[in-house]
């Protein structure tokens, strides 16, 4: 180590922040109306404004984006909302909204279940950033679209997000190739969180009755998520019908967002810690435990590729937050190994010992940055 005036200190958090800033600058493209769109990557592979990727950017790294860009993108997405409430999966630079995952010529099932919630997340994060004097007018303008989107999301009698096994939707976008059906874990957590945010926004700037309804829906999720609990593993399953498998991302996300797990909190933390080596590689996270693959797919995905066995930085921050209270050293190791891989190999959409897919993937940096700043920024 250098000493004296020549000493330099490497800050992983500062490095990741600068990396995220560069990726956010490199992923921009202009829409037909002049709106600056933020695409998921800097390689023009996903050449559109994708609702969930954009929401992650705003939530975890919104301070690195001009406020006027964020507002314009939210308006661009709302403009593409379908009459029945379906929020676009993405909107192309020519202004055409696309509602279902996959190629437009071969869509993957019905419209994605998660986009209404991500539109709420982006809006909530933006409203927190602007002056209080503008929040009421902006929320009044946007709330009809946000409410309509949330109302569209299919739910079971127990209040959990439900995917019809006979005619499945493409679920959470980072598993949009996977036919998880029945009551769903990750999607219900997203819905719970969006309900809590909408309740708070309506209580401050909208309708109190609507706020109470959102709180009722959130309580339903809290009361019934245990239907997906697997006592043997000490973790939650991804779905109740197809893909009754332990969802690593969903369990970590539940802890990261502060979902009230009650007596199940400790077992989930213990499972994520005890079986760490079964889902983590170079600080990046598999959807399922190593050696397991999704039981039902919406489109063929080879084993150990993409959403069926690769490792993703998208979920690394959630794992760091989930395990930090019980094993801070392991959480820090995750972050350090992730940064080392980024420095050596670049920031990819997903990785595996045998391959890497799509360099310059923006949320691979933004999502862990959000967690790292909470845990280690000084």
Query: What are 138-173's pLDDT values in tens digits?
Result: 999 999 999 999 999 999 999 999 999 999 999 999
- The CATH number of residue 233's host domain is 1.50.10.10
Tell me whether residue 3 is in a domain.
no
Q: Which residues, including other chains, have CB under 8 Å from residue 209's CB and lie 6 or more apart?
A: none
The confidence score (pLDDT) of residue 168 equals: 98
In tens, the pLDDT along 291-346 reads 999 999 999 999 999 999 999 999 999 999 999 999 999 999 999 999 999 999 99
Residue 11 lies in a domain: no
Predicted model pTM: 0.97
Taking the chain (378 residues) in consecutive chunks of 10 residues, what is each chunk's mean pLDDT? 51 97 98 98 94 98 98 98 98 98 95 98 97 96 98 98 98 98 99 98 97 98 98 98 98 98 98 98 98 98 98 98 98 98 98 97 98 92
Helices (H), 153-207: 185-205
Q: Which residue range forms the structural domain that includes residue 233?
A: 16-376
* Total number of domains constituting the chain: 1
On whether residue 8 sits in a domain, the answer given is: no
Q: If you write DSSP's letter for every residue of 115-172 in order, what string do you get?
A: HHHHHHHHHHHHHHHS-HHHHHHHHHHHHHHHHHHHHHS-B-TTSSBEE-TTSPBP-S
In a domain, 9, yes or no: no
Q: Is residue 1 part of a domain?
A: no
């Amino acid at each position: 180590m250098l000493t004296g005036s020549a000493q330099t200190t490497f800050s992983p958090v500062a490095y990741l922040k600068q990396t995220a800033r560069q990726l956010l600058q490199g992923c921009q493209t202009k829409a037909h109306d002049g709106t600056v769109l933020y695409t998921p990557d800097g390689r023009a592979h996903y050449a559109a404004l994708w609702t969930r990727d954009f929401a992650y950017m705003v939530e975890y790294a919104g301070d690195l984006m001009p406020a006027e860009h964020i507002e314009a993108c939210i308006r661009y997405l709302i403009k593409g909302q379908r009459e029945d409430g379906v929020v676009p999966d993405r909107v192309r630079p020519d202004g055409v909204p696309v509602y279902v995952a996959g190629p437009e010529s071969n869509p993957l099932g019905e419209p994605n279940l998660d986009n209404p919630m991500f539109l709420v997340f982006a809006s909530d994060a933006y409203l927190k950033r602007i002056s209080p004097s503008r929040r009421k007018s902006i929320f009044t303008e946007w709330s009809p679209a946000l409410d309509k989107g949330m109302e569209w999301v299919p739910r079971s009698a127990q209040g959990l997000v439900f995917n019809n096994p006979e005619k499945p939707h493409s679920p959470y976008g980072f598993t949009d190739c996977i036919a998880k059906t029945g009551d769903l874990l990750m999607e219900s957590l997203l819905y719970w969180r969006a309900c809590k945010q909408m309740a708070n926004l309506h209580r401050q700037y909208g309708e109190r009755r609507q706020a109470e309804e959102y709180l009722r829906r959130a309580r339903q999720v809290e009361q019934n998520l245990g239907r997906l609990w697997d006592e043997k593993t000490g973790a939650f399953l991804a779905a109740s019908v197809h893909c009754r498998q332990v969802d690593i991302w969903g369990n970590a996300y539940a802890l990261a967002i502060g979902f009230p797990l009650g007596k199940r909190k400790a077992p989930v933390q213990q499972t994520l810690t005890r079986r760490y080596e079964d889902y983590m590689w170079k600080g990046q996270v598999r959807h399922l435990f190593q050696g397991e693959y999704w039981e039902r797919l919406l489109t063929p995905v080879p084993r150990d590729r993409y959403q069926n066995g690769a490792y993703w930085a998208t979920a690394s921050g959630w794992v760091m937050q989930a395990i930090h209270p019980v094993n801070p050293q392991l959480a820090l190791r995750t972050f350090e190994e992730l940064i080392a891989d980024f420095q050596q190999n670049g920031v990819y959409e997903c990785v595996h010992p045998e391959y890497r897919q799509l360099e310059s993937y923006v949320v691979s940096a933004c999502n862990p940055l959000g967690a790292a700043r909470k845990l280690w920024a000084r």
